[in-house]
Structure 1
C-alpha cells in the first residue's frame, strides 16, 4: 500500500497514477470535468473509438453518493441519520433568526447588519468545529462572547429539529466511514488539493486504515519550468500584455495549451474577456455571434442574477410586489426582450415608454400604469399594445390571488405562475446559454421551496429577497463544447495536465500573498495559534509559497507579471517573486478592436465636408416655435436633428411637478386674473379683494391643469399649490402696481402662427398690454433663469422669442416695447427694451446701458431695431430652408438645453481639431 503524506507542497508530493484508478477525488467540479476531457482527448488521440470515462468526483459528491448507497443498503440505520442537511442559504437564514432573536430587545438593533453578522458567524462556527478551536475563559472579547451565545442557540435549534449544517454533516459521514459503514474503492487518487483541512486529513487517515491505496493524481511536471518576471506600467498594461502573449503563443503553435492565472479574477474577468474577444475573436462583436465558441474558458462563472434572462425574471417579479414602481425600472423592462410580445409590439412599447415619461410621475402604482396603457390603447391614435396589456392584467391577477404571507414553496409556485402569465422568457427562440440560465433559475426556485423546512411564512418581498440571494450566490458558467486551449483561472484552480505555457498576472505585494482576514468573532490569537487559514501573514505566506511551487510545475514556460503603479500610487512586486529573473525587454500590448481600426491604413478613405442637409421642399412642413429659430442660430445641426428629423431627448420623469409645470400654473393664474382688465382695476383692489381674486384665478388654473392629467390632484396638493401661487403672484402684482403708464390687458396666452420666409412658426404670446396711445407692449413671463438679451443686437439672434413677437406677430397695433416679466420669489423685474420709458427700470434705446449693446450708428431708433430683428430672423429662416446643418457653435454653454447633444459629437470634433493643429505644428517644425 502506498501511503499519502499530508505534506501539501506539490514538489514534495508523490506523483503516482494507478493504471486503472477506481476513483479520483478533485478539489473542484471544474477540475473533475477538465480531467475527464483530458483523458478523453488522450484516448481519442491513441486511436480508440470507445473507452471507459475517467472516474472523477469532488469530495462532497463522493461522500454524498456513498452515504446514500449505505442508507439504501441498510448499512447505515435511517434512524441514526440526520433528518435534514442545511444548505448554505438555510444555514445562514437560521443564523439570521438566532441573531435577530438575540437583538430583539436591543434599542440599536436596526443599526446592525444582520446578514453580514450571520455570514461571519457561519464561518466562525465552521472554523471552531473543524479546527477544534477553544477560546480560553480569559480571552473572551465582547464579540466572541456574543458569538458563543448565538452558537449555543444555533446548535440547540439544529438539535431540536434533527438538522446538521455542512461541516457537522461531513463529520457524521466520516464517523460512518470510521465505523466501516460506507463502501470504499480499492484505490483513490487526490487531484488539485493545495491545502488539506482537518477533515480532509482525517479522511485520508481513515482511508489508509481501511486499506485504500492512496495517491496524488499527476497533473504537474516533475521539474519546475523556466520562469521570468514581467514588470508592466499598470494593471491595464498587464491585461493587454497577457492577452497579446496568448495571441502570440497560439500564432506560433495553434495546438498549444495555455493558462492565464489571475488572483483578482472576479475584478478583471470582464476586462480580460473583452480583450480576448477583440484579439482572438473580433467577429463576436456581431450580436448573432455573441455565444460562439471561444478559444478560452474561464474557471470563474458569474452570479446567476447577472444573466439577462434571469435578471429580467427577477425584475418582472419585483415590480408586481413593490408598493410603488419606479418608472425607470419599468422603462427598462419595456425594452427587454424576455417577456410578452417583445418582437411584435417592440415599436409600440418604445412609444409607450415615451408617453409614460410625459404623463406619469417617477413612481407610480401598477393600477395607474394599467390605466394609462388602457387609455393609450383606446385613444384616437391607439398604440398596438394589446398583448402587453393582456399579459400585465394576467400577471396582476396572479399577484392579487396570493395571500399576504405563505410558505416559501407556495411563493415559488406563485412566481412560476406569474412569469408564465407574463410569457417569460419571451416570444423569440432562446439560445443555448439562455436555456441553461433558465434551467439554473428553476433550480433556484426549487431551493426557495426547500426553505419550508423552517416552517416560517414570508411575505412577497421577503420571498423575492431570498430568491434574489439564491440567484446571486449560484455561480453560473455556460457549458462549452470541446476543450478550449486557453484556460483563465484563479490562483486556487489547477490544470488537468501540464500546460505548454503559463502567464500569472497581478503579482503585487498588496495582492499576493493575500492579506490576512481573521474572523472577527474569534480572538485572533486563537486563530494564529491553530494556523487557521487567513489567520495571519505567516499562514498566508506559507500557503502562497505552496501555490507558487505548484505554478512552477504547471508549464515549462511561466511568466509572472506585476504592475508598477496604480494611478499615482507606486506598487511593489510580491516578495514571492524575489528569485524570479526580471525580463528587460518590451512586451507587446493587445489593442482593442476600435484601436486596431483607428490605427489601420486609411489611404483609401475619402474625406467629404458635407454639412448641407436636403433643402426644405415646397409644401414641406417644418414644425417648431421660436425654439426652431433659436436652435438654427446657435447650431444649425441642432435645428436639423431636432426639428426636421424629429429627434428628441426622452423626458426624465419626476415626482410632483416639474419646474415647467409650475411655470404653467403661474401663467394660468396671471391669465385668469388679467384677462380684459387694466392697471386701474389692480390699483383699486384692497388686500382682501386681491386675495379673493387670486384665489379664484389659482383655483381655475389648477382645474385647467388637472383636466389635462390622467390622475386627479389631491385636495392637500391643490391647497398647498394654491397658497404658493397666491403668495408668488401677489408679490408680483405688488411690483406691477408701481407702473406709471396706464395699460389695458388686450390678450393673454394668445396662440398664433406666423410665416417667416415660408417657415411656419407657432407662437404663444403670454400677454399683450395696450397703452393709452394705442401701441402695445408684448410681455413674456419667466419663472426661471433670466434670458440674456445682448444677442438681440447680433446677426444671429439666439433668444428670438420676443424679437419674433415684435417683428412678425401683431397686426393690431404698433409694438412699443418687449419685455420678459421675471415672476420669481427672489426677484421681480422687467428685462427687455423699449423705444421710450414705459416700464419700471426697463432699458430704452437712449440709456447708456442700452447703447453698450445697441450701437447708435446701427440702431438709430426703435424702428431700426425692429427692422434689424426682422432681417436677421428672415436670414436665419432662409438658412434653415436651404438645408444648412453644420455643427457650428460659438459658445458651447448655449447648448446646455440641447436635446440632441450626443448627435453633435462635439468631443470627436474637438479631437479632430487638436490633431489638425498638431499636424500643422509638425509641418512648420
Structure 2
C-alpha cells in the first residue's frame, strides 16, 4: 500500500493523506508507547519479557520437575509451555479451565501457577498481557479511542485481540483482499516435488523474459520445509554462476518471506563451532572444515592450518578435541596459531565456574576476537547483516540475566546456540520480481501471476497439531489454531479462495509422489481444470543445459596422460613397500596418484574395531607367542589350559601395546576382542599342530629389496625351517587371500609372496599365507617342499613350471612392473578388477566412468570440424 502511494505521488496523481498503516503487533506496540508516555504506574514499573527471557524462565520452572517426564524433548517443551500459556491469555481463559484427568495437563497447571507467580512477584509481563492492560486503559479512558479502525487480510483473530480492536475504535471495519476481475485458473500435476518446482521456475523465467515489469508470486504452504530445495532449483534456473565460488554474492531475481535459522549461516555456524572446539570437542568433519574456514585466523596461516589438517587425517576419530589440535600445531616449527590456542585454553580453564549470562557474553566476544572472528576478509552484505544480527542476539541472551542468575559455560553456549537456531535470518535485499511466500503471507497480496505449489492431500489442508500441554477438547471448543482437522480445513478453504483471486493467472500444482509416498491432488482444487492430463517433463534448468552443452560451447583436445616424468634418482627409497608394485600392476594411473603425487583419501572414521586393527592384534599376538614357544615340539607339549592362558596373555599384550590412540577400544571391547582373538588363534594353532615338524627361525624380520634402483622395505611375519633344512616364509592374513591365479607371472597383481621368495638371501623352498580369521584357518601358498603342508601347492600346479623357473619369471615380472613405475607409465587402464574394487576413492581423479562418454563427444566434435 505504501508502494502504491509513492508510485502515485511520483506520477503527480491526486492522492489523499497517507493513512496510518500498521501490522497488528506494530499497532499494539504503538499504543503501548502512548501508555508509557502517559506515565501510568502499572505500565512504567513493569518489564515486558522477550522470547529469550520467557523461555529461560520456563526452563527454570520445568527443569525442576523434568524427572516426571523422562522421554520428553525438553527443548520443545519450553516453547510448547510458552505457546500454551499465551493461548490461554489470548482466549481469555484461566488455568482452572484446562484441568482434566491427564497428569501432563495437571503438571502444566503447576508450571502455569509458578510462571504466573514469577510474573506477578517481579512485575514482569508477557506481550499478551500488554493487550489486557491496553484494553483496561481504553475502557478507563486512559487512552483515546479512534474514529475508525480498518482491518485487512485477517482470517482469524484471537478473542482478546478482537476485543481490544473493538474497544479501540468507534467503528471497526474488516476488509477482504481485493479480487482480480478476470482470471485464468488451472491445476497441474507433476511426477515429484523436484519436477513440480522446476516447472514453476521455468514458467516464471518465461514470463519475465516476455515482461520484466510483472510481479510473480510463488506460494508454498509448506515453505519452511522445502525452502532449500526451492532456492536450489530457482538458482539453477536463473543464475548459471550461483555456484561459482570465484563470483561475489549478488542479489538473485527472487526472494523469500521465510528466513533461515541464523545458526545455519556459515559465519555464525563457524563461530559456534570454534567456541565449542576451544572448550571441548567437535565432530571430525567439523574440525576439518574449520581449518579451511575463512572466518578466523586459520585463514591467515593457511600453510600451518593445512599441515595440522593433514596430521588430523592421519588419526581419524569421531571427535577432535582442542587438545588434539594443539598437539597437531606443536609439530609445526615456530607455530603462529599455537600461542593463541594455548592462551584461549588457559582463559577457558579460568572460567569454568558458573557466571551470569551478561558475563558470558563478554567472555564469548573476547574469545571470538582472539580467534580473529569473523576473519580479515571484508564481509559481503549478507555476512555483515548476519554478524550484526548475531551481536543483537548476544544482547538478547544477556537480557536473560533478568530471569536467572548463573549458568556454566557449556550451558550458556548451548542456550545461545538454541536461541540462534530459533532466530530466523532474512537478508535485506531490493524488491525482486519473484516473491516466494507461505500461504498466509501470499493470500493477503496481489500479483500479476501466481503459482501455488504442493496442493496435495498430505500438505493442503495442513494436518492438525494441537498443543500437547492443553486439553484437546478445550482447544477444539474454543477454536484455537491447529486444534482439529475441521479447523485446518476451514483455514485452508479461506486461504485457497483468496489465492484463487490474487492474480489474473493462477496455477495450482501438486506432485504424484513424495519419496516413496503416493500423493493425490487436494480436494480444495478438484474444481479447477487440469491443464494437461499428461504433463511433459519440465525444461532443463540453465545449469543442466550448461552441463549438457559443455562440449558444444568450447574447444577441446584429447590429452595423452599415459606417461609422466620418470624417476631419475640413481637409488631412491620408495614408501609403500609391496603396495606400490601391486597398484602399478593393477591400475598404473592410480599408483601414480597415490605414490608419486601422494594423493591419499581421507581415512574413514571407525566407530568399531576395523579389520585392519584386528589384523594388527592378530599379528602382534602370534609374534609374541612364537617368540616364547619357538617350535612345534614346544607347542605340542602345552596342555589346553596352559595353551589358552598363554594365547590370552599374548593377545592382551598386543591390545595394550597397539600404537596410537584408539577410542573405540573401550575396556569392554578389549575384553570381548581378547576372547575372540584367543579362540581364533587357538583354532589356528590346531592347524599348526598337524604340520610336519618345524622350527621358527625368524619373526618380524625386515630386509631391503633393490629393484631397478628403487629400494623397497620388506618385512616377513615369520620364517620356518622344516623338512630337510628347507625354509618357508609365512605371511599372516586375517582377511581374504588372493587367488593362486594371481601368482602366475603374466602380470603380478599379488606380488607380496613372489617378492619374499625372490629377495630373501637364503634359498626359499616355499612361500605361503597363513590365513587366520573367524571363518577359516589354513595355509595358502606355493613352493617345492620335501614334506607335505596342506594348502601349499607345487609350482607345476599353478604355473606349469618348476619352482626355480617360477621364481625367475616372478623376478622378471617384478622388474618389468617397477620399471613401468620408474619410467612414468601411467596407463588409465584396469588390469585387475578384484584389486581395483578397493581403489574407488580415485574415481574422481581417473574419471574412468566418464572416459568413454567424453571420448565419444570429442570424436564427434573432431568429425564435425573435419
Place the TM-score, normalised by the shorter chain, in its bin.
Answer: 0.7 to 0.9
Contact 2:254 / 2:435 at 8 angstroms: preserved in 1? yes
| Distance in 1 of aligned mates of 2:563 and 2:472 | 73
Deviations 1:171-228 (A, max 9, x none): 223322333334667665544433322233223212223x7x8675x96346363222
Which residue is equivalent to 1:128?
Answer: 88
Shift of residue 761, structure 1, vs aligned partner: 3.2
Deviations 1:427-451 (A, max 9, x none): 2222211111111111221111111
Shift of residue 775, structure 1, vs aligned partner: 4.4
Q: Is 1:300 equivalent to 2:249 in the alignment?
A: no
Distance 1:46 1:837, change over 3 A: farther
Which residue is equivalent to 2:500?
Answer: 552
| Distance in 2 of aligned mates of 1:335 and 1:820 | 44
| Distance in 1 of aligned mates of 2:408 and 2:754 | 62
Which residue is equivalent to 2:862?
Answer: none
Q: Secondary structure at the match of 1:289?
A: coil
Shift of residue 625, structure 1, vs aligned partner: 1.8
Deviations 1:543-573 (A, max 9, x none): 2222123223321111111223335544222
Q: Is 1:437 equivalent to 2:393 in the alignment?
A: no
| Distance in 2 of aligned mates of 1:194 and 1:587 | 37
| Distance in 2 of aligned mates of 1:185 and 1:888 | 84
Q: Is 1:65 equivalent to 2:30 in the alignment?
A: yes
Q: Within 5 Å, which residues of 2 pair with 1:358-507?
A: 358-359=314-315, 361-363=317-319, 365-374=321-330, 376-377=331-332, 382=333, 386-480=335-429, 482-494=430-442, 498-507=446-455
Which residue is equivalent to 2:740?
Answer: 789
Q: CA RMSD in A?
A: 4.0
Q: Secondary structure at the match of 1:596?
A: helix
Q: Within 5 Å, which residues of 2 pair with 1:722-741?
A: 735-741=687-693
Contact 1:625 / 1:761 at 8 angstroms: preserved in 2? yes
Distance 1:587 1:51, change over 3 A: farther
Q: Which among 443, 446, 458 is matched to residue 510 of structure 1?
A: 458
Contact 1:776 / 1:817 at 8 angstroms: preserved in 2? yes
| Distance in 2 of aligned mates of 1:704 and 1:114 | 44
Distance 1:568 1:766, change over 3 A: closer
Which residue is equivalent to 2:527?
Answer: 579
| Distance in 2 of aligned mates of 1:535 and 1:680 | 80
Q: Which moved more, 1:686-695 or 1:640-649?
A: 686-695
| Distance in 1 of aligned mates of 2:531 and 2:852 | 40
Q: Within 5 Å, which residues of 2 pair with 1:743-892?
A: 743=695, 745-746=697-698, 748-755=700-707, 757-771=708-722, 773=724, 775-793=726-744, 795-807=746-758, 809-810=759-760, 812-824=761-773, 827-838=776-787, 840-845=789-794, 851=797, 854=798, 858-880=799-821, 881=823, 883-888=825-830, 890-891=832-833
Contact 2:749 / 2:832 at 8 angstroms: preserved in 1? no
Shift of residue 731, structure 1, vs aligned partner: 6.7
Shift of residue 861, structure 1, vs aligned partner: 1.7
Shift of residue 819, structure 1, vs aligned partner: 0.9
Q: Is 1:632 equivalent to 2:584 in the alignment?
A: yes
Q: Is 1:347 equivalent to 2:311 in the alignment?
A: no
Shift of residue 832, structure 1, vs aligned partner: 1.0
Shift of residue 257, structure 1, vs aligned partner: 1.2
Which residue is equivalent to 1:23?
Answer: none
Shift of residue 643, structure 1, vs aligned partner: 1.6
Contact 1:675 / 1:746 at 8 angstroms: preserved in 2? no
| Distance in 2 of aligned mates of 1:891 and 1:283 | 39
| Distance in 1 of aligned mates of 2:99 and 2:370 | 61
Q: Is 1:160 equivalent to 2:121 in the alignment?
A: yes
TM-score, scaled to structure 2: 0.87
Q: Which among 40, 49, 61 is matched to residue 86 of structure 1?
A: 49
Q: Secondary structure at the match of 2:70?
A: helix
Distance 1:678 1:521, change over 3 A: closer
Alignment gaps of 5+ in structure 1: 1-34, 917-925
Alignment gaps of 5+ in structure 2: 859-866
Q: Secondary structure at the match of 2:439?
A: coil
Which residue is equivalent to 2:221?
Answer: 263
Distance 1:582 1:439, change over 3 A: same
Deviations 1:757-789 (A, max 9, x none): 455433222233345755432221223334433
Number of equivalent positions:
850
Deviations 1:702-758 (A, max 9, x none): 89866x7899x9999999999998887677566545442444514633131321x45
Contact 1:679 / 1:737 at 8 angstroms: preserved in 2? no
Q: Which among 467, 470, 473 is matched to residue 519 of structure 1?
A: 467
| Distance in 2 of aligned mates of 1:137 and 1:496 | 34
Q: Is 1:201 equivalent to 2:162 in the alignment?
A: yes
| Distance in 2 of aligned mates of 1:677 and 1:371 | 41
Contact 1:83 / 1:162 at 8 angstroms: preserved in 2? yes
| Distance in 1 of aligned mates of 2:610 and 2:461 | 55
Shift of residue 507, structure 1, vs aligned partner: 1.1
| Distance in 2 of aligned mates of 1:700 and 1:522 | 61
Contact 2:92 / 2:160 at 8 angstroms: preserved in 1? no
Q: Secondary structure at the match of 1:513?
A: coil
Q: Which moved more, 1:249-258 or 1:152-161?
A: 152-161
Shift of residue 125, structure 1, vs aligned partner: 2.6
Which residue is equivalent to 1:100?
Answer: 63
TM-score, scaled to structure 1: 0.82
Which residue is equivalent to 2:563?
Answer: 613
Contact 1:70 / 1:183 at 8 angstroms: preserved in 2? no
Shift of residue 594, structure 1, vs aligned partner: 4.3
| Distance in 2 of aligned mates of 1:722 and 1:102 | 45
Shift of residue 617, structure 1, vs aligned partner: 4.5
Q: Within 5 Å, which residues of 2 pair with 1:29-44?
A: 35-37=1-3, 39-44=5-10
Shift of residue 488, structure 1, vs aligned partner: 0.6
Q: Secondary structure at the match of 2:64?
A: helix
Contact 2:134 / 2:164 at 8 angstroms: preserved in 1? no
Contact 2:215 / 2:448 at 8 angstroms: preserved in 1? yes
